[in-house]
Amino acid sequence: MNLNLTAIRFIFLFLILASATSFAQGVKRIELPLSGNTAYQTVPLGAQGVLLISKPERGTFNVQKFDTNLERVFSIDGPIEANLDYITASYDGQAVFLLFSKFRSPLYQIVKVNVGPGFVETFTINTIDRFEITDFKTLGYSVFMAGMVRNEPVLIFTQLRTSQTKILPSAIKGSNAIQTVEVDTAHHLVNVCFAVKKGRQTRIVARSYEETGELYAQVSVDPEDDFSLLSGRLQVLNDSVKIIIGTYGYRNMQSATNAASQGLYISKYVGNEPVFTRYHSFTDFKNFFNFMNERQQEKMEKRIRKKKESGDDLKLNYRLLVHDIVPKDNNFLLVAEVFYPEYRYQNPTMMGGLGYGSMMGYPFGMGLYNPYLWNPMYGGRGYNQQIFDGFTYTHAVVADVDANGKLLWDNSINFDNVKSMELREKIKVQTFNNGSSRLVYSHNGAIKSKIIKGNQVVDSDRVIPNETNVEGDKVRKTSTDDIDYWYGNFYLAWGEQRIINAAGDPQTRGRRNVFYLNKIAY
């Protein structure tokens, strides 16, 4: 059978597009019924599966593990103090630790879930009176908790096997706040970044701790005279090389109610000696302002050009959540999400304001909240008449820098009014050997993606509906939804939905409220 030239060209073009865009499809979806106060928290475990955490009733918790085919492996019920709430979970690559407490209580219960054999261990620890926890990370049987006591930063270390708890020295000259606590499973370290402020200028001090709580390394990044460093994330590349990335802004633009980011910086250290610190203003990015409409972009570019012609830079006012750096050959991929916090003016509830008790957007429990994560100038005052109403994400930026910190290219993806009560990474970035990267996020029950290669866009605004696969189903409301890269070429999507079915099989007709897990091949 002979094909004409036009048909051959069409098939060839189709194969190229198919390989470039990697069509997505749902592999399997399961639903768990929601009734009363039932809710779930999800902890993806990569190739080990996924963990679901719930509190069926006061004084109990339930943990279910599903494998990568979304088949249930085990379900474990356990007791917990009746007045404690679920706060958060930490996964160190080996086990999942669940944290239970109540607002400003010194008592914490920690449940270790051994995800392989499927059994739990429960520990009770006492910390400090009126301790407001902002970070919870685990490494082996070691627990690192950061928080505030009367607006002073505190870093607590607990060895669960011996029940020994101690406050790690966090005294640094100048007023400081603990911004981030991250687990480095590759090097078996816990990295903590402190924002140390003096007037309107802030520097970043980064410390690495071993599993024993001993200090492994410390580096400090000082800003240029006109700048203030607003955030930092430490990454240990090997025994000698350390990288710190974060955001910076102009010193005179900072205040207790405003953290104004101008751009991204990257610092490289060999041993404890600085090699370089490079600053990249968003006004030098080619795609940072793509989230604006065409007229707004033209006005912005005109203002930037006018400022640069006079030897100055247009001062910006953005807030960014910076991801871990992604080493890529000899380069570094930087990813950050632009957001702003929203407030509503009402009489605050007893546990409202800036404590984690105000996080009513969680399915259950309190969650963690760290105002220092997005504003190191915050001083614990000034918001008592405002109630936090969530974070709105506008767009995310991806930038590639070389081994010397030089900006090679940048790209971006727009968020469609994504809002969350929890400040955490929404976009997932997956890189490929051919130099392209896939950007994926979840919104209103659908999955949106964009494939880029440097400054170029390979495939944009692809929307994958999160179908129920049941004939006659219509999703009336998606209360919560999320997505994470899972393993191989699979993603995991989950959330809560209200579904109505008026035309399907008699067994599926009616209304149902469900929590879903959806395995997606991409």
Question: What distance in Å separates the CA atoms of residue 432 and residue 402, rounded to the nearest whole number?
Answer: 17
Residue 81 φ then ψ, to 5°: -55, 135
d(CA 431, CA 453): 10
Q: Are 228 and 239 in contact (CB under 8 A)?
A: no
In a domain, 520, yes or no: yes
Residue 182 sits at the vertex; the CA angle it makes with 42 and 238, to the nearest 5 degrees, is 125
State the residue range of the domain holding 450. Answer: 22-39+436-522
Residue 194 lies in a domain: no
Strand ranges, E, within 263-354: 263-270, 273-281, 319-322, 326-328, 331-345
Q: Is the pTM of this model over 0.75?
A: yes
Per-residue pLDDT of the chain (522 residues; tens, 9 = 90+): 444 554 444 444 444 344 434 456 778 999 999 887 778 999 999 999 999 999 888 889 999 999 999 999 999 999 988 888 899 999 988 899 999 988 777 889 999 999 988 889 999 988 888 888 889 999 999 999 998 888 788 899 999 999 899 998 876 766 678 888 999 988 899 999 999 888 778 999 999 999 999 999 999 999 999 999 999 999 888 888 999 999 999 999 988 878 899 999 999 999 889 999 999 999 999 999 999 999 999 999 999 999 999 999 999 999 999 998 888 888 899 999 999 888 776 543 333 333 333 333 344 555 677 777 778 877 654 444 567 788 899 999 999 999 899 999 999 999 887 888 778 888 998 888 888 889 998 887 788 889 999 888 888 777 887 778 788 888 888 888 888 889 998 999 998 989 998 876 776 778 889 999 999 887
416 assigned to some structural domain:
no
For residue 446, tell me if it sits in a domain: yes
Q: What total of structural domains would you count in the chain?
A: 1
Task: Tell me, yes or no, whether 53 lies in a domain.
Answer: no
